Structure 1
Amino acid sequence: MGYYLLKVGVTAVLVVLISEIAKRSSLMGAILASIPLTSVLAMIWLYIDTGSVRQVSALASSVFWLVIPSLSLFIALPLLLQRGINFYLSLVIAISLTALTYGLMVVILRKFGLSL
């Protein structure tokens, strides 16, 4: 149980730290947020939990292919906000668009013989 609390604590502290830095400097916040911190933490936790470089490699490969559709969020969200759409509605729309592009990417990858 203590190990899970450690994982949650480290992850939460990093997310809060990045959001606090972003309040002071959007550039520094963006730099830190653009680092695939969640992916890196997930790979570290996965390796610590399993000791399997094969599982870490599979996770890293899957993340690579899913980064491409995730970019739709970062295109859609600012466009929606610039058009004056409410923040929360813009976020829901952008996340929904991202989910659709994830699904599309999985279908496309399967057609080329890649499964995630």
Structure 2
Amino acid sequence: MWYYFTKVLVSAFMIVAISEVAKRSSLIGAILASVPMISLIAIIWLYHETGDTAKISVLASNIFWLVIPSLALFLTLPVLLKSGLGFYWSLSISICVTIICYFAMLASLRFMGINI
């Protein structure tokens, strides 16, 4: 039980720390947020729990392929915000675009014979 509490606490701390840093410096906040910390934390937790490097390898490869469509959020959100659309509408539309990009990426990978 303590292990899961520690996982939640460490993960939550990272997110809060990045948002607090971003209040003071958007550049440093962006640098910290762009580092794949959540992925690294997940990889560390998975290794700690299983010790299975094959699972780590598969997870890292899958993360690679799915980072590409996730970039759609960071392209559409600023465009929509700059166009004057409200924050929550912009965020909602950006999330929808990102979901569509995920499905397109998964279909493309399947078409190319890459199984994730």
**Number of equivalenced pairs:** 116
Partner Cα separation in structure 1 for residue 86 and residue 8 of structure 2:
31
Question: What does residue 55 of structure 1 align with?
Answer: 55
Q: 1:101 and 1:72 mapped to 2: Cα distance?
A: 7
Deviation at 1:81, TM superposition (A): 0.3
Deviation sequence 1:42-63 (CA, Å, 0-9, x none)? 1011111111000010000000
Superposed CA offset, 1:6-37 (max 9, x none): 00000000100000000000000000000001
Identity of aligned residues (%): 54
Q: TM-score, normalised by structure 1?
A: 0.98
- For 1:102 and 1:49, the matched residues in 2 are separated by 28
Which residue matches 2:104? 104
Partner Cα separation in structure 1 for residue 23 and residue 88 of structure 2: 19
- Cα offset, 1:89, TM superposition: 1.2
CA distance in 2, matches of 1:114, 1:54: 17
- Where structure 1 has 5 or more consecutive residues not aligned to the other structure, the ranges are none
C-alpha deviations, 1:46-92, integer Å up to 9, x for none? 11111100001000000000111111000000000001111111111
What is the CA–CA distance in structure 2 between the aligned matches of 1:99 and 1:48, rounded to whole Å? 31
Which residue in 2 is equivalent to 1:73? 73
Report whether the alignment pairs 1:11 with 2:30: no
How far is 1:115 from its partner?
A: 1.1
- Give the match's secondary structure for 1:115: coil
Which structure 1 residue ranges, 4+ long, deviate > 4 Å from structure 2?
Answer: none
Structure 2 counterpart of 1:58, one-letter code:
V
Aligned-residue RMSD, C-alpha: 0.6
